[in-house]
Every structure is written in structure tokens, then in C-alpha cells.
Chains A and B, each alone.
Chain A
Amino acid sequence: MPREDYEVVIGIEVHAELSTKTKIFCSCPTTFGAAPNTQVCPICMAMPGTLPVLNERVVEYAVKAGLATNCEISRDSKNDRKNYFYPDLPKSYQISQYDKPLCMNGYVEIETAEGKKKIGIERIHIEEDTGKLNHDDFGGGSLLDLNRAGVPLIETVSRPDMRSAAEADAYLKKLKSIFEYIEVSDCKMQEASFRADINVSVHKPGTPYGTRTEMKGMDSFRSITRAIEYEIDRQIEVIENGGKIYQETLRWDDVSGKTFSMRDKEDAQDYRYFPDPDLVAINLSEEYIQNVKESLPELPESRKQRYLEEYNLSEKDANIITSSKYLSDLFEGAIKVCNNPKAVNNWIISDISRILNETEMEPIEIPFDSKQLGKLVILIDKGTISSSIGKKVVTELFENPRDPEEIIKEKGWIQISDEGAIKEVVIKILEANPQSIADYKAGKDRALGFLVGQAMKETKGKANPQMLNKMFLEELKK
């Protein structure tokens, strides 16, 4: 495939559910996972005669998001109606923003193997989420759950500035981490509170942009990368074979690893946007915007700089840790307990990250707290347990989080640092492996490693490794 001959253009719309306590136009709670239709009222069910009242928190959160992504904040904004029929849209229009979004012309900076790059943000606007249709086995019908109807969203529209799946991935991760830091959204992808519509097109350099296709409602980084790669290849193949790309909405199927056409341009809807006459204009004062600006917490970029300077972290490690507010909070919390940034960094970068990856968990789901991680580091620093036992404790913390001290007592993992006990093991191993002694004496240093390994095995990893090493050397010299 002549992929090098093509330039890829990607633009992304992100919908993030705001973590306000109540919905955008009524006082129903927004908690996820409640029984169907238990978090509804006449307003979000669109009973005739009801009127929306805009939740001020929604405006505040959107302004926060705008300020954190270098946007201009509109002093004069409004709500518009987007009209279309679908059962999950009870009013038959969605209250959104059309030509006067709250935030405009921002950017975020991303970093990939290619280096640093600014990705433009065209706009961030507020709108209400729709309900949910559950296509279930209930007699072949569909059931409507309006709990999500009226949950506030911000839609962030990027400029078509991304040129690869890696850049799209970096952009999404950056945006997610910013929203987490400023605490406007919990960004839980498995609850669809952070989801992306990805627009992809390809063209030969020097020619106009190609026709784009859109993949809607993507909610996992892994699928997003796969889907973009697939779609790039598919489009190039179609063009190379003399075909044409049609502007259409695609559905990514994770199982088959393919995209499927959902609806094409011919069904393109006319949403008949117009200003919602039930709501008044949103006018923000300079003072209001200044107050929101001052309420913004430390952003990932600034935390990263601090980690590089204060804790001497490598750029790569600092990037990983600050990529998520939860990892970053875990890091800082654990350091407060154990005062050993290097060790905490290592645990997060190696074992914790590995387990998160393997289990496809997000940092927010880490079941243990920073105190427990800090205590684990202290136990290793004091020599109570070895770092190989530490790994087991981390695994245990994921499975059944509790005080690490309790874990090691319960499991009998306390390190053997008693000289007599260690000596006993060393002698036992030496007696069992005369060949290794001969090898060592013949100059094969590797034999020492083998013997230490055997001793560790014998003690189920509990022996103090430094003491083992020292004592083997002493015995072998005899």
C-alpha cells in the first residue's frame, strides 16, 4: 500500500459529560448506573408546558474547560435548538449551541515521537445529552431510559490538525487529562462520559483535502487507534483502485476490526437550528471570567515541569504520570507518605502501569490509595520486604486493597534478614549444587546469580537479597 504517498487529515469532536451534580436544565441527579427512568422529572421528560432553566455550574465548567485549552471565552453566548426526531430525544430538539459557542479558538499541545505540536480547538459548546434506547430481548422491542437525557455535555471540536493515529491518540489523552485535572468531567470512557467522533480523510500532498468519513461514539483509545489505521488504509485502497470516498457516518466494529456504513450523506439532516426562545442569552462579565480563571487548579503541563525540576523525573516518566490526574495525585500522595519519589515513580511506571494495561483499567479505577502505595515503599526501604515481594503486594493491592503491612503479615511475606536463618539457606543451597561452586571457582560469575536465585526460590522470595549475595560470596571464598 503506497501509504507514504498520502497525507492523512484527522479532526475530532469530543463529547464529555460534565460532573455537575444536577442536569443542565432541571434538578435531576446525574449519577451513572441508576435504575432506568428513576432520575427524571417533567422537564427532562419533555412534558408539555415545562421550561428549561440553565444550570450555572454548566457554564462555569465549560468556561473552565475553555480557559484550560487556551480558548477565547465568549461574553455573549446563547442556546440554540437542534431539531430532529429520535425516540431518545424527548423534546424532539436538543438544546445546544450553534453560532455563538461559549469558547472558541483554543489549542492544546501534544507530544508524539515526531515531537511537540499544537492542535487547534475550533470551539467548545454546552449541550444536553440524549436518553438511551436499550434494544433488548423484551419482546423484540426497545426500551427508553431517560436518566441520561439532560445530562450536561461539552462538545470540543478540534481543527483538522492531526496527521496520524498517534497524534489523534495524543490529542485525546491530553484533552482527557486536562478535563480530569480541572475536574469538569470524570472522563470515564466505559461509561461513555468521554467519547469521540473521529473524522478521517486522505489526500496526496499538494492536492485539496479528501472527502472525510466520520466514526461516531468511539469510547476506547485502543479502538480509536485501530479504527483510524483501518480507515486510512481503506480509503487509500479505494482511491488507489480508482474508487471514490463518500461522506458518510461509519460504525467501527471492534470484533471484526472493520468499519461499516451507518448512514450516508443523502440522509443528511437539516437540523433547523434556531435560538431557544425559552432561554435567555448567556452574558459573562470580565469579573466572572477572571474568577473562574483564578479557580483553575494546577494543569498537567505545570505539574510535569515541577516533577522534572523537583523530583528529577525523566521527561518520559513525567509524561506518563501527568497524563492522568489520578496517577499524578497517587504519585504526590505516596511521596508525602514515604518521601521517596524515585521509588514511587518506578512503581507507577512499571508494575502499576503494566497492570492497568493488562486489565484495561483506567487510572481512576485504581482501587488502592496513595497512602497504601507510600507504605509499601517504606516497607521496602526499611528492608521489611524485598522489592520482588513488593511486586506481589502491588498485585494484591489491586485485588484486595488494604494496608500493605497487613498483607505481608497475613501472607507471611516478611523478609528474612536474620543472619543465622540466611546462612542456613546458603549452606543448604551450596551443598545441593557442587557443580555451581566448581563453576564459580573456575571464573564463571554467572554461577553466583544462579545460587542466589535458588536461595530465593527456597525462601519463596523472602530472603534479603543483599544479605544472600554477601553471604554466598563469603562462603565461596572459603
Chain B
Amino acid sequence: MLLNLIAGHDEKDTTSSDRPKVDYTLSLKNDVKGLKIGVPKEFYGKGLNEEVKAKLEEAIEKYRELGAIVEEVSLDIAEFSLAAYYIVACAEASSNLGRFDGIRYGHRSESAKELNEIFIKSRSEGFGDEVKRRIILGTYVLSSGYYDAYYKKAQQARTLVMNKFSKIFEDYDAILTPTSPVVAFNIGEKSNNPLEMYLADIYTVSVNVAGLPGISIPCGVDKCGMPIGMQLIGNKFQEETILNAAYTFEQAIEFRKKYKPEFKGGAN
């Protein structure tokens, strides 16, 4: 498995954990009896597509059938997570992408005549709209006078999100949520409405913000045959728990046999 290969300490990346490696293939036990799963009610409210919601409810039932203990919990973090995520991610992107300055590699504007023109024109021509949007947002949230209100606040929000997750993991082994409030939209469909596009990430960015493992697997398809995803979130370094929970579910619903997703064009 890929995870087996990428897990473990990398001496060339000091941010990687030096915990001993485990063989994740051994965690697939096809048994979730007694597993405690929390279902945060806030993730099933406003904005969630009805079909997605229905499939998730079926999934919850399936887990109960399989012997897991599934209970409703409260995890009021999705909106903070989304905001914190986009602030931090854009801030880092604005800095990370600075190296594409047209000096050493990448696109260099043909028409640039002097240094600042090389920077400005190469970057204006080379980057797409979404990248530019994120660079502008990121530069803004790091600017003097705004840093405390945005970047610093986002980092504080991360701590808050982590604490709320920790609280739940005191009593539960995993958290079950939809992957996205809607099924996949067509390529380019939301390009003109980035905010709506960012909102599609509302359930998944929490794990990035909190530094937790998450897995998304299909739990059914909608009426157009588009797959519906569910997400399992585990506590820090508890990949084995959620891999087993996902595997057990997948075996039970025989997704690959039952659903042969057929693209009929145009979601919803």
C-alpha cells in the first residue's frame, strides 16, 4: 500500500514524524464490532444535499448493523476550519509560489525589458486565475496590519479546532462525516464563484487544519450515477482505525459490485 511506503521519518523533511512505522495492511481486519463512531450533527445541517444526506444515513445504519456504536456528537468547527484553512493555505501559497519569478526556471515573459517587468509580466502571464486569487489573498493576510487579524487568528483557530477534536476522541475512535456537501460538479462549472467552490471543501479541510488522518470512500451514487463520498476521521496517528473501518464498510456494501458508476452528464 502507498501509505506503507510514504509513512515514517524522512531525514530530508524535519516536519515528518519519527514514530516507528507500522504495516497498515495488517490493520484491515474486516471487523468493527464495538468501534465507537461519532457523528457530528453540525456536519449534517444546512447546505447538505439531500441525496448525500440520505446515503450517509444509510452508511450510519450499516455501521450499526456491523456492530459499531454510532452516536451523535457536537463538533462546531466546520466554518472556522474552512476560514482558517483558506487563510493559512493562501498565505503559504503566496510565499511558496514566489520562486516562480521567471529568473531560473518556468515561464519568462518575452516582452519584459527590465527586472521588475520580468517579475510582474512573467507571473501575470504564467499563473492562472485561481492561483492569482490565492496569491492575492495570501499576500493580504500576511501584510503588516492584517497579520494579527487574519493569519494569527487562523493559527489560533487551528488550536481551537484541534482541541475540539481531541475532546471527541476522548470518547470515540472515529468520526463519520460527508466528504462534500454536494456531489462533484462539472469541470469549470464554478470558476466564476470561487466562494461556492471553496465551500465544497468545508467537511474535508478540518483534518488538514487539525493535523488528523482522514479517509474518503464512496458510500453510494446519486440519481445521475455520481459517487457520494463519506469521510472517516481518526485521532492523531490512528490511521489503522479508520483504514479498518473503511475497509470493513467497503466489504459490506460491495460497492464495486453493486455500483458501476455511469456518467450520464450533468450533475444534479
Name which of A46-54, A200-208, A255-263 contacts chain B. Answer: A46-54
A87 and B103 contact, CB distance less than 8 A: yes
The answer to whether B142 touches A91 (Cβ under 8 A) is no
The interface residues of chain A lying within 8 Å CB-to-CB of B80 are none
Q: How far is the CA of A233 from the CA of B92 in the complex (A)?
A: 46
Judging by beta carbons under 8 Å apart, are A279 and B14 in contact?
yes
* A90 CB-CB contact with B under 8 Å: yes
Q: Which residues of B contact A46 (CB under 8 A)?
A: 99, 104
Given contacts A46-B99, A274-B142, contact A53 B14 (CB under 8 A): yes
Task: Count contacts on A: residues with CB < 8 A to the other chain.
Answer: 24
- A51-B12, A53-B12, A270-B143 known; A85 and B95 CB under 8 Å? no
Is A92 in contact with chain B by the CB < 8 A criterion? yes
A425 at the interface (CB under 8 A from B): no
The answer to the question of B84 belonging to the interface, with a C-beta cut-off of 8 Å to chain A, is no
A47 nearest in chain B by CB position: B105
**Min CB gap A273→B, angstroms:** 8
Question: What is the minimal beta-carbon distance from A92 to any residue of chain B, in angstroms?
Answer: 3
Residues of A near B151 (CB, < 8 A) are 274
Asked if residues A83 and B143 are in contact (CB atoms below 8 Å), the reply is no
Which of A45, A81, A83, A278 is in CB contact (< 8 Å) with B104? Answer: A45
Alpha-carbon distance A274/B143, docked complex (angstroms)? 10
> In chain B, residues 1-41, which have Cβ atoms closer than 8 Å to a Cβ of chain A?
11-15
Chain A residues closer than 8 Å to B104, beta-carbon distance: 45-46, 90, 144
B118 to chain A, nearest CB (A): 8
Q: Mark A182-222, 1 if CB is under 8 A from B, else 0.
A: 00000000000000000000000000000000000000000
Establish whether residues B119 and A274, one from each chain, have CB atoms under 8 Å apart when the complex forms.
Answer: no
Nearest-Cβ distance from residue A445 to partner chain B, whole angstroms: 75
A296 interface hit (Cβ, 8 Å): no
Question: Is B98 within 8 A of A280, CB to CB?
Answer: no
Whether B185 sits at the interface, judged by CB under 8 Å, is no
Within 8 A of A (CB), among B25-73: none
Across-interface contacts of B95 in A (CB, < 8 A): 81, 83, 92-93, 272, 274
Q: Does A277 contact B (CB under 8 A)?
A: yes
Closest Cβ of chain A to B8, distance in Å, is 16
B250 within 8 A of A: no
Q: Are B115 and A92 in contact (CB under 8 A)?
A: no
Say whether B92 contacts A277, CB under 8 Å. Answer: yes
- Residues on B with beta carbons closer than 8 Å to the beta carbon of A280: 14-15
**B127 at interface (Cβ–Cβ under 8 A)?**
no
Q: Which residues of A contact B91 (CB under 8 A)?
A: 274
Would you list which residues of chain A between 4 and 55 have a CB under 8 Å from chain B? 45-48, 51, 53-54
A 262-303 binary contact with B (CB < 8 Å = 1; else 0): 000000001011100111100000000000000000000000
How distant is the Cα of A208 from the Cα of B11 in the complex, in angstroms?
A: 52
- Report chain A residues within 8 Å CB of B119: 85
In the complex, chain B residues whose CB is within 8 Å of the CB of A87: 101, 103, 115
A91→B98 contact, CB < 8 A: yes
Q: Assess the A270–B144 pair: CB atoms within 8 A.
A: yes
**CB neighbours of A277 from chain B (8 A):** 15, 92
Chain B residues near A48 (CB-CB < 8 A): 99-100
Contact A85 B98 (CB under 8 A): yes
- On whether the beta carbons of B115 and A272 are closer than 8 Å, the reply is no
User: Does B259 sit at the interface, judged by CB under 8 A?
Assistant: no
Chain A minimum-CB-distance residue to B102: A87
Knowing A83-B95, A87-B103 touch, does A272 contact B143 (C-beta < 8 A)? yes
Which residues of chain A have C-beta atoms less than 8 A from B142's C-beta?
83, 272-274
When distances are taken between beta carbons in the complex, the residues of chain B under 8 Å from A273 are 142, 147
Residues of chain A contacted by B101 (CB below 8 angstroms): 85, 87, 92
**Would A83 and B103 be within 8 Å (CB), given that A53-B12, A272-B143, A279-B14 are in contact?**
no
Chain A neighbourhood of B98, CB < 8 A:
83, 85, 91-93
| Nearest CB of chain B from residue A47's CB, rounded to whole Å | 8
Residues of the A chain whose Cβ atoms lie less than 8 Å from the Cβ of B99: 46, 48, 90-92
Q: Is B180 an interface residue (CB 8 A)?
A: no
Q: Across the interface, which residues of A come within 8 angstroms of B105, CB to CB?
A: 47
Q: Which residues of A contact B14 (CB under 8 A)?
A: 51, 53-54, 279-280
**Chain B contacts for A51, CB-based, 8 A:** 12-15
Least Cβ–Cβ distance between B10 and chain A, in angstroms: 9
- Write out the residue numbers on chain B whose beta carbons fall within 8 Å of the beta carbon of A92: 95, 98-99, 101
User: Given A93-B98, A270-B144, is A144 in contact with B12 using a C-beta cutoff of 8 Å?
Assistant: no
Nearest Cβ on chain B to A278's Cβ, whole angstroms = 7
Provide the bound-state CA to CA distance between A274 and B89, in Å: 13
B103 contact set on A, CB distance < 8 A: 87, 90, 144
- Contact between A279 and B147, CB atoms less than 8 A apart: no
Beta-carbon nearest neighbor of A84 in chain B:
B98
Q: Shortest distance in angstroms between B92's beta carbon and chain A's nearest beta carbon? A: 6
Taken together as a complex, chains A and B put the C-alpha atoms of A410 and B115 apart, in Å, by 60
A91 and B103 CA atoms in complex are apart in Å by 11
A270 contacts across to B, CB distance below 8 A: 143-144
Distance in angstroms between the alpha carbons of A81 and B119 in the assembled complex:
19
Q: Does B235 contact A (CB under 8 A)?
A: no
Tell me the smallest distance from the CB of A22 to a CB of chain B, in Å: 14
Q: Which residues of A contact B12 (CB under 8 A)?
A: 51, 53
Q: A83-B95, A85-B119, A274-B95 are in contact. Are A279 and B15 (CB under 8 A)?
A: yes
Q: For window 125-144 of chain B, which residues contact chain A by CB distance below 8 Å?
A: 139, 142-144
- B 92-124 to A, binary, CB cutoff 8 A, 1 in contact else 0: 101100111101110000000001000100000
A47 to B95, CA, bound (A): 14
Docked complex Cα distance between A361 and B13 (Å): 43
Nearest-neighbor residue (CB-CB) of A280 within chain B: B14
A91–B14 CA distance with the chains assembled, in angstroms: 19
What separation, in Å, do the CA atoms of A91 and B12 have in the docked complex? 18
B158: min CB distance to chain A, Å: 12
Q: How far is the CB of B82 from chain A (nearest CB, A)?
A: 19
When distances are taken between beta carbons in the complex, the residues of chain B under 8 Å from A272 are: 94-95, 139, 142-144, 147
Residues on B with C-beta less than 8 A from A45 are 104
B→A interface (CB under 8 Å): 11-15, 91-92, 94-95, 98-101, 103-105, 115, 119, 139, 142-144, 147, 151
9 contacts between A and B (CB under 8 A): A45-B104, A51-B13, A54-B14, A90-B104, A92-B95, A92-B99, A270-B144, A272-B143, A272-B147
17 A-B pairs besides A51-B12, A279-B15 with CB distance below 8 A are A47-B105, A48-B100, A51-B13, A51-B15, A53-B11, A81-B95, A83-B95, A83-B98, A85-B101, A85-B119, A87-B103, A90-B104, A93-B95, A93-B98, A274-B91, A274-B95, A277-B15
Chain A contacts to B: CB under 8 angstroms = 45-48, 51, 53-54, 81, 83, 85, 87, 90-93, 144, 270, 272-274, 277-280
Which 3 pairs, one residue from A and one from B, show the smallest C-beta to C-beta distance? A92-B98, A272-B142, A46-B99
